[in-house]
Amino acid sequence: MRARLFAATAAAAGLTLIAAGCSPAAGDAEEEVAYPSQDITLVVPYSAGGASDLSARALATEMESILGVSIIVENRTGGAGAVGLSYLAGAAPDGYTIGYMPVETTMLGLQGYVIQPDDYELLGQIVSVPATIAVPSSSPYETLDDLIAAAEAAPGTITVSNSGAGSIWNATTTALGEAAGVEFRPIPFDGGAPAVTAAVAGDVDAVVAGISETSVPAADGSLRVLAVFADTTSDALPGVETAQALGFDVIIGGWGAIGAPAGLPDDVRAALADAVAGAAQSASFIEVISNSGNIPVFVDADAFSEFFDSEVARFERIFGES
């Protein structure tokens, strides 16, 4: 009886499989799933709390509502951004790993890091970040001239924290030193936030960082910002002059964009570029960035690609590459 029951059950199962194979539903598994169908990771190559992190998180919030999936911000620090950027370049080009790309993307490969600009798909610029220099509130240096005079009196001893060797803030420190004819001692950290924390604690003489990273501790009295390296002053730093107005012809800053590993499918690239455009031009994103002292700047993927290439060429000239 058990043998007959087993045979009947097996036969029924076989008929079911045959029927399933002939059914139109058999091809459903081969159909492409619309993008995006799962959470997206947004890699930030610096520590939490800095200008890059702020911009990335503000953008992610807006992109979530556009794409209808969660965007998880993941901080991967080290090497002035090289660790996070390397991780981004090596991720699968499927649209589920994107990243915040700072100006350092165009610089690091010229300084010995394994970062190649061609390894990324550019999705648009979202922010401009003016550089600033600040000292602890307890510092004896009341003005930029005071700091310069101290560096002149004791070359290589005035410590200036930054977001990492090879970073734009390290380059800013060098540019200021060259303009003033003095030598500073750069102290690298894994991002602007820890560099600012070191200055607030009095562990360094000064810090060079983005305006959003210094304006908050300046407002609560824990830092004194001596200058902003932009062509105009900022409402976020009332009373702070530009370095140029103070006699030091240095205008420099960072920028931030969103990118992905090279090789994205066209439809995925288009969906992401549209989401970045919508998020970067949203009222909420613009408000967050403007209130931080940074400048919301949206440049679409195609136009940004041209600017990006010009930045690569600019830093090749600066670092002596042909």
- What's the distance, CA 25 to chain centroid? 45
Give the range among 7-21, 141-155, 209-223 with minimum mean pLDDT. 7-21
* pLDDT value of position 33: 82
For residue 12, give the amino acid letter.
A
Residues in the chain: 322
Alpha helices in 68-157 (DSSP H): 82-90, 144-153
Q: What is the phi/psi pair of residue 114, to 5°?
A: -85, 70
Tokens 């500073």 correspond to: 184
Residues 134, 200: contact at Cβ < 8 Å?
A: no
Q: What is the phi/psi pair of residue 65, to 5°?
A: -70, -25
Query: Residue 49: which region, alpha, beta or left (left: phi > 0; alpha: psi -120 to 50)?
Result: left
Confidence of residue 265 (pLDDT cuts 50, 70, 90): very high
Q: From start to end of the chain, where are the E strands?
A: 40-44, 71-75, 97-102, 120-136, 159-162, 185-188, 206-210, 223-228, 253-261, 295-299
Tokens 């002292």 correspond to: 293
Residues 171, 154: contact at Cβ < 8 Å?
A: no
Tokens 């300084």 correspond to: 111
Model-wide pTM > 0.85: no
Q: What is the pLDDT of residues 47-57, one digit of tens each?
A: 998 899 999 99
Helix (H) or strand (E) holding 268: helix 266-280
Give the C-alpha separation, 215 to 254, whole Å: 16
For residue 269, give the amino acid letter.
R
Q: What is the CA radius of gyration of the chain?
A: 25
Percent of the chain past pLDDT 90, that is, above it, reads 82
Alpha helices in 23-81 (DSSP H): 51-67
Section 60-88 average pLDDT: 97
What are the distances in angstroms from CA 148 to CA 137, 157, 162, 169, 183? 17, 12, 17, 17, 9
Q: Do domains 40-128+254-318 and 130-228 have the same CATH topology?
A: yes
Give the C-alpha separation, 27 to 33, whole Å: 13
What CATH number has the domain spanning 40-128+254-318? Answer: 3.40.190.150
* pLDDT value of position 314: 86
Give the range among 2-16, 49-63, 108-122, 130-144 with minimum mean pLDDT. 2-16
Beta-sheet pairing, 159-162 with 295-299: unpaired
Q: What is the pLDDT of residues 10-45, one digit of tens each?
A: 444 443 333 444 444 444 445 678 999 999 999 999
* pLDDT value of position 69: 98
Question: Could you state, in order of their start, the residue ranges of all structural domains in the chain?
Answer: 40-128+254-318, 130-228
CATH class of 130-228: alpha beta
* pLDDT value of position 19: 40
3-state secondary structure of 134: strand
Confidence of residue 298 (pLDDT cuts 50, 70, 90): very high
Give the C-alpha separation, 313 to 109, whole Å: 12
Tokens 């798909």 correspond to: 121
Q: Which of 141, 147, 129 is nearest to 185 (CA)?
A: 147
* pLDDT value of position 25: 47
Give the C-alpha separation, 101 to 118, whole Å: 13
